[in-house]
Amino acid sequence: MYNYLIENGLILSSQKTEKKTIGLLGEKIHLLEPGHEYEAEAKLDATGCYILPGLVDPHVHPNYEDSLAQTSISAVYGGVTTVLHYIPIKAGENPLEKIRQVQAEGETGSVIDFGLHAAFFDTANQLSAIKGLSQLGVRSFKMFTAYARSGWLTPDAVLLKALAEIASAEGLACVHAESGAAIEFLEERLSPLTVHNFLATSPALLDKEAIWRTLCYAKIANCPLYLPHISSRKALEALALAKEEGIPFYSETCPHYLAFSWEDLKSRGPQGKLRPPIKTAEDREALWNALEDLTIHCIGSDHAPKAKLPNDDFHSAPFGAPGVETILPVLWELGVNANHLTPFDLVRLCCENPAKIFGLFPRKGQLAEGSDADLIIFDPTQKWQLSQSQQHSKAPYTLYEGLTCRGKILKVFVRGRLVVDNDKLCCQGGGRFLRTEPGKWAL
């Protein structure tokens, strides 16, 4: 007897739709022929709905206004059933102890499954922990070519050493690639920072420079490279150069770069202050095109919930915005409904590809026989409006306030457990730590 039967829904994959009955038994999916009688403890009629794999968000920050547990709740309400958290390891912290601590916190409080990236804020003194972290199941490592003034920037010589060490541990380097020194030179020249000069301090040319430099270093070190939050046409030019040179890479953009130009967000003041900045309408259009031509491989939220108000001082306001809960509704409305994406593209970019990049496939990222029963029942016809008052992050705003969406999540299952049922959270805890294995699957 199955725990649940989901009948009459249309299953979405990255390549096709399929009419199957889904049986959930324990933590796994079973695909059954429709039109037959099966015994189950509960039967759900999904007529008119899509059944999607739970989203895999590869770019989440479980701190600031949201704890790891609260981040997981916000995520699952948005149909995200697996996250990869960036864990900041600051100067003086023991990387292995920090990761063990966060793993234990997640296994106690997270309602969804999670993996971890180790984010080095003092790379020169932390790269010796790479092999030990890999043995713990953490095999992706973040570094910065930005934030020199904060002391987070990894100097080029250290970056090369770290890339070589990551390669020897069969890991994946995740590099925040912006030209930190040049940006801070411009910030000092134009200070104070305002909504009017913000983009002038971070011209897209500097995206291209830092990304291309990082790609060349990864090639020299023979290290797999993941480039998060691609935000501009110039950044895409660097990726095109890498393709010409045969340099392998994975790239990610975020919904806010697809949804807005800086002109759209100026009135929001510091709430729209992100790093890298949201740029022009032309950059936004180039990013949509890059999703279609496969230059960008996946989409992550860069969920970084900060307590910012529109009238706060722009110069001193921190970077970041909430976003893990809004990936699916925003991309369905602005991507699928606007004919920028097909439903198949969305599953590829938000489920299958991130699961493959970080070695979680086929357990995660698809609805297939024997995969984890992580799934969304989604009504593509239901209209509703996004509002911070309905969100579950403790950040006091959403960038998408007032956006009317056609397509709504009805139910979310995580490893066979019904976690969200028509806007009601049905359980607490139950999440598991996932060991990542980048390089296991080709895209």
pLDDT at residue number 17: 97
pLDDT at residue number 264: 96
Domain assignment present for 394: no
Residues 152 and 220 in one domain: yes
Provide the pLDDT confidence category of residue 43 given band limits of 50, 70 and 90.
very high
Range of the structural domain that residue 29 is part of: 2-51+369-383+404-425
- Average pLDDT of 40-44? 97
Per-chain mean pLDDT for the chain: 97
pLDDT at residue number 270: 98
Provide the pLDDT confidence category of residue 117 given band limits of 50, 70 and 90.
very high
- Average pLDDT of 364-370? 97
Residues 289 and 184 in one domain: yes
Taking the C-alpha atoms of residue 149 and residue 322, their distance in angstroms, rounded to an integer, is 24
- Average pLDDT of 311-327? 97
Residue type for 252, please? E
What is the CATH number for 374? 2.30.40.10
Domain assignment present for 439: no
Residue type for 111, please? V
Domains: count for the chain:
2
- Average pLDDT of 200-217? 98
Taking the C-alpha atoms of residue 209 and residue 368, their distance in angstroms, rounded to an integer, is 41
Each residue of 385-407: b (16+ CB within 10 Å) or e? ebeeeebbbebebbbbeebebeb
Say what percent of the chain tops pLDDT 90. Answer: 99
Residues 288 and 413 in one domain: no
Domain assignment present for 389: no
Provide the pLDDT confidence category of residue 160 given band limits of 50, 70 and 90.
very high
Closest by Cα among 407, 440, 432 to 12: 407
pLDDT at residue number 365: 98
Bond preceding residue 277 cis, omega within 30 of 0: no
Beta partners for residue 303, in sequence order: 60, 321
Q: What is the pTM of this model?
A: 0.98
- Average pLDDT of 150-170? 97
In this predicted model, what pLDDT tens digit does every residue of 221-263 receive, in sequence order?
A: 999 999 999 999 999 999 999 999 999 999 999 999 999 999 9
Structural element, H or E, at residue 134: helix 130-135
Closest by Cα among 71, 56, 65, 228 to 142: 228
Domain assignment present for 297: yes
Domain assignment present for 77: yes
3-state secondary structure of 155: coil
